[in-house]
Amino acid sequence: MELWILIGALVVVIAFGVYRFFKARKIMTTLSEDKFREGYRKAQLIDVREPKEFDGGHILGARNIPLSQMKNRLIEIRKDKPVYLYCQSGARSARAAMMLHKKGYEDLNMLEGGFKKWTGKIKTKK
C-alpha cells in the first residue's frame, strides 16, 4: 500500500514537472547565445540570480532582479518592451517567465543554457 502511494506521488511530481516545462516553452522563446546577443541591447536584460551570484559575474548591461524579489519589483519591468531573462542554468528564468506571463508580460525570452554557457563579455563587482 505504501509503495503505491509513493509511486502515485512520484507520478504526480513528474507530470507536474513535464506540464511546467511545456507551459514555459509555450510562453517564452529560448534563444541561442547568438540570437540572445542580437536582441538583448534593445530589450530589458534581467539576471534573475541572487545578488552574490550577480556580483560574481554577469552579462554586461544586465539588471539584477532576483527571482526571490520579482513579485515585489515588477514595477521595474516594462510590459511594452521585450524581456530577456537569464539565470545560472535556465530553471529560474523559466519560473520568472511564468510569473511575468501571469502578470501580462508577453515578449519573454530566455538564454539557452543560462549564464554558465555564456561566452560574451561579463562584468564583475570589484
What confidence tens digit (pLDDT) does each residue in 84-97 have?
999 999 889 988 99
Statement: residue 23 has pLDDT above 80? no
> What is the average per-residue pLDDT within 5-28?
79
How sure is the predictor about 22, in pLDDT bands with cuts at 50, 70 and 90? low
What is the side-by-side strand order in the sheet with 108-111?
Answer: 29-31, 108-111, 83-86, 44-47, 63-64
How sure is the predictor about 21, in pLDDT bands with cuts at 50, 70 and 90? low
Please give the CATH number for the structural domain made up of 28-123: 3.40.250.10
Check: CB of residue 55 under 8 Å from CB of residue 123: no
Q: Domain segments of the chain: what residues?
A: 28-123
pTM of the model: 0.81
